[in-house]
């Protein structure tokens, strides 16, 4: 047996192994056990199975075609290096397909966990409610939430490219387990949903374009001048700022209270920030969130939030990094937020961000009414939309000191109910 034939046989065996690996992947519908309330809403599961099945069929067909060629005279005449390069490319495609499966499997397998799986479906309902904006020019994509270790939430948006190619049919939102207790869960989840909503509205590119004249009017020529132009910072951070705005518009003060909990870190991290990080400096981020709430839903509560944050992390100490920049951004925040809320949403016939995102049901006046009903009926939040219910919980905590019922039990009950009535 010549070296070329020997190489072809080895490669053929490896390709056969690849085919076997791909064929071992079973559809989620046949492989996962979960109670009905924990199942993803609508045809989410079928969409994922259909997407993965199409990819598997395509890969198996390509692999089988390659095996037929390996047995041909043309393959024996080819250089071993060239043949092996084709095999390596095929193996990378298979690995990408398995990565896609694992990506979805992390979110689906958790649905089989007692109680946790039902809560995940409740979070799906919360995320969907966060994206239901009246008169929006998009259809809400399928959504899938899951818990993971770590401190940061994240989203793999629908209609973006998956590893190895293909369009993601489902928005997958990862939430840290430690945020399942308290308001941080809603704040983080709706922030990530906001990334999806902003992408569907094409908000961030439009805002960056609208900001260009402001950047050019005071373009810095030296490092010292760089810090004197706040628009440089807002421009760099705009994608995260828009997601925070989305969260405030859907949750009111609950969003800012949850954000405060998320970014409450040792002082050195709270005041650290630079233009290489897409996230605003944590201290500025909380103040900006409060300013968004103040302009969207005017009420004295926002002054209390800002004062509380200043008392927890005072800026007058020597350990504050770049105090001049912190002071500049804090002073400029009201100007920037006013500009941001007045910007038009693309393809919305000139409708402003403020007009499109502000929810009358989250206004302090409306929440006062809901709070009075809650005081008379402990189960009143169960009659509200998910975002409105979380907004009411935070409003009660901030303005009345606590919720009328134990918060942890309430959130658990709400998530379970939303999972059952989707």
- Note the pLDDT of residue 151: 64
Which has the higher per-residue pLDDT, 226 or 186? Answer: 186
Rounded CA-CA distance 139/403 in Å is: 35
DSSP state at residue 136: -
Does residue 12 sit within a domain?
yes
Rounded CA-CA distance 8/141 in Å is: 45
Does residue 403 sit within a domain?
yes
- Note the pLDDT of residue 219: 46
Are the C-beta atoms of 304 and 364 separated by less than 8 Å? no
Rounded CA-CA distance 393/367 in Å is: 10
- Note the pLDDT of residue 61: 86
Does residue 239 sit within a domain?
no
- Note the pLDDT of residue 262: 87
Work out the pLDDT band at 223, boundaries 50, 70, 90. very low
Work out the pLDDT band at 292, boundaries 50, 70, 90. very high
- Note the pLDDT of residue 308: 94
Mean pLDDT of 311-326: 85
Rounded CA-CA distance 14/9 in Å is: 9
Most confident of 32-46, 211-225, 337-351: 337-351
Q: Which residue has the tokens 């804090």?
A: 330
- Note the pLDDT of residue 42: 61
Does residue 95 sit within a domain?
yes
Domain boundary among 109, 142, 173: 109
Are the C-beta atoms of 236 and 278 separated by less than 8 Å? yes
What does pLDDT average to over the chain?
A: 84
- Note the pLDDT of residue 224: 44
For the packed helices 407-420 and 116-131, what is the interaxial angle rounded to 10 degrees? 80
The 10s digit of each residue's pLDDT in 6-47 is: 778 888 888 888 788 777 666 655 555 566 666 666 666 666
211: which 2 tokens? 């900001």
Does residue 94 sit within a domain?
yes
- Note the pLDDT of residue 227: 58
Domain boundary among 60, 76, 109: 109
Q: Would you say residue 181 has pLDDT above 70?
A: no
The 10s digit of each residue's pLDDT in 85-102 is: 888 888 887 777 777 776
Q: How far apart are the first and last CA of the chain?
A: 64
Which has the higher per-residue pLDDT, 41 or 311? Answer: 311
Closest of 305, 177, 317, 210 to residue 252, by C-alpha: 305
| Percent of the chain that is helix, strand, coil (3-state, to 5) | 70, 5, 25
121 phi, psi to nearest 5 deg: -65, -35
pTM of the predicted model as reported, rounded to 2 decimal places: 0.80
Does residue 225 sit within a domain?
no
Work out the pLDDT band at 52, boundaries 50, 70, 90. low
Rounded CA-CA distance 171/159 in Å is: 8
Domain boundary among 109, 139, 165: 109
- Note the pLDDT of residue 220: 44
Q: What is the dihedral of CA 204, 206, 210, 216, to 10 degrees?
A: 70
Does residue 219 sit within a domain?
no
CA angle, 329 then 333 then 335, to 5°? 125
Q: Would you say residue 125 has pLDDT above 60?
A: yes
Identify the domain containing residue 34 by its residue range.
3-109
Q: Would you say residue 71 has pLDDT above 60?
A: yes
Strands (E), 87-194: 142-148, 154-156, 170-176
Separation in Å, CA 193 to CA 8, 33, 125, 303: 49, 27, 11, 27
The 10s digit of each residue's pLDDT in 354-413 is: 999 999 999 999 999 999 999 899 889 999 999 999 999 999 988 887 767 777 788 888
203: which 2 tokens? 């908000």
DSSP string, 265-297: --HHHHT---TTSSSPPHHHHHHHHHHHHHHHS
Q: For the chain, what percent of residues have pLDDT higher than 70?
A: 86
Does residue 385 sit within a domain?
yes
Q: Would you say residue 348 has pLDDT above 80?
A: no
Residue 224 CA, distance from chain mean position? 35
How many domains are contained in the chain?
Answer: 2
Q: Lowest-pLDDT range, 53-67, 196-210, 334-348?
A: 53-67
């Amino acid at each position: 047996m010549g070296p070329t034939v020997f190489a072809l046989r080895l490669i053929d065996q490896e390709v056969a192994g690849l085919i076997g690996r791909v064929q071992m992947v079973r559809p989620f519908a046949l492989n996962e056990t979960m109670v009905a309330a924990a199942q993803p809403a609508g045809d989410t599961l079928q969409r994922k199975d259909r997407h993965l099945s199409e990819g598997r069929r395509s890969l198996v067909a390509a692999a089988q075609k390659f095996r037929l060629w390996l047995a041909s005279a043309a393959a024996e005449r080819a250089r071993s290096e060239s043949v092996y390069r084709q095999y390596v490319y095929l193996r990378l495609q298979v690995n990408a397909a398995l990565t896609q499966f694992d990506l979805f499997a992390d979110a689906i397998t958790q649905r089989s966990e007692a109680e946790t799986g039902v809560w995940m479906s409740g979070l799906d309902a919360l995320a969907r409610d966060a994206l239901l904006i009246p008169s929006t020019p998009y259809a809400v994509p399928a959504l899938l939430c899951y818990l993971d270790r770590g401190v940061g939430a994240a989203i793999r948006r629908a209609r973006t490219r998956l590893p190895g190619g293909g369009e993601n049919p489902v928005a997958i939102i990862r939430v840290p387990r430690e945020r399942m207790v308290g308001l941080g869960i809603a704040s983080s989840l709706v922030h990530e949903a906001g990334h999806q909503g902003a992408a569907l509205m094409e908000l961030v590119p439009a805002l960056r374009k609208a900001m260009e004249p402001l950047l050019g009017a005071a373009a810095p020529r030296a490092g010292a001048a760089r810090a004197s132009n706040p628009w440089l910072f807002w421009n760099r951070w705009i994608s995260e700022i828009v997601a925070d705005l989305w969260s405030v518009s859907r949750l009111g003060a609950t969003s800012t209270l949850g954000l405060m909990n998320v970014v409450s870190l040792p002082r050195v991290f709270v005041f650290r920030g630079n233009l290489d990080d897409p996230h605003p400096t944590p201290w500025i981020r909380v103040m900006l969130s409060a300013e968004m709430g103040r302009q969207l839903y005017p009420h004295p509560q926002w002054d209390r939030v800002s004062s509380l944050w200043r008392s927890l992390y005072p800026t007058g100490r020597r350990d504050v990094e770049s105090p001049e920049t912190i002071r500049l951004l804090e002073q400029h925040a009201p100007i920037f937020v006013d500009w941001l809320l007045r910007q038009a949403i693309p393809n919305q016939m000139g409708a402003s961000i403020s007009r499109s995102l502000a929810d009358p049901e989250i206004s302090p006046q409306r929440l006062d009414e809901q709070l009075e009903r809650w005081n008379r009926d402990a189960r009143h939040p169960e009659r509200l939309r998910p975002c409105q219910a979380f907004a009411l919980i935070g409003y009660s905590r901030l303005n009345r000191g606590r919720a009328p019922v134990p918060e942890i039990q309430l959130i658990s009950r709400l998530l379970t109910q939303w999972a059952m009535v989707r």
